[in-house]
Amino acid sequence: MAEDRAGVVVYWRPGCPYCMKLRLRLRFTKLEYTEVNIWRDPEAAAFVRSVADGNETVPTVTVGGKAMVNPSKRQVVEAVRAQTPGADA
């Protein structure tokens, strides 16, 4: 199940400018995360719909299982730091 993925997971799809922007910005952090293309993973697409009012709104990011729909890099980093105090993101 997609929601069982541990750590930080970035759900995205090809051609999404918001996904490209967030993924690029996260690459310049020390944050470790997994990227999941929702067009190649039906379970991931279903998970995104379940947390985004039935829509496939991406990027959707989970940090420790908590979902954020279309977050900024700052929101992702803050969520990681709140989840893991002392984390170097």
| Residue range 2-83, CATH number | 3.40.30.10
**Residue 87: is its pLDDT beyond 70?**
no
Q: What's the pLDDT at 3?
A: 46
**Residue 85: is its pLDDT beyond 80?**
no
Q: Which amino acid is at 71?
A: P
pTM exceeding 0.85 = yes
Please give the biggest Cα pair distance in the chain: 35
Q: From CA 7, how far away is CA 64, in angstroms rounded?
A: 5
**Domains of the chain by residue range:** 2-83
Q: Which amino acid is at 34?
A: T
Q: From CA 47, how far away is CA 45, in angstroms rounded?
A: 5
In angstroms, how far is CA 65 from the centroid of its own chain?
Answer: 10
* 61 closest CA partner among 81, 82, 75: 75
